[in-house]
Amino acid sequence: MVLNKVSETPCPPDIIAIAINGKNRAQHCGIIYTDSVNGVQFCDMQWEHELGVGPPPNLYFWNKVRLAPEEILQVSAFVEMVIAQEKQLRSEA
């Protein structure tokens, strides 16, 4: 397994990757995916019941998940659906 540092090797579009901050203490991870406008995004649970979405942090490391092209699209669509539902729930609260 090869870990790529975001600041040295940015995650390319059209893949699914797992990202981790690499700290010994306060480890944190998330998923890197390509959104519907072809932007590479990092989705993580920042606090209890709150998703964070944005560009992959430079200090994180990532590793590609082996998936078929159609599976990549399915996972990306699922992540966006979860994000949309979470935003809707927050707006109703």
- Domain total for the chain? 1
**pLDDT tens digits, 36-67:** 999 999 999 987 778 999 999 999 999 999 99
pLDDT at position 24 is: 80
Containing structural domain, residue 74: 4-92
Pairing of strands 4-5, 61-64: antiparallel
- Percentage of residues in the chain with pLDDT exceeding 70? 99
Residue with the two structure tokens 């990532």:
62
**H/E run at residue 21:** none
- List Cα–Cα distances, 15 to 9, 23, 41, 54, in angstroms: 14, 24, 11, 16
Neighbours of 36 (CB within 10 A): 8
Q: What is the pLDDT of residue 4?
A: 96
pLDDT reading at 34 higher than 90: yes
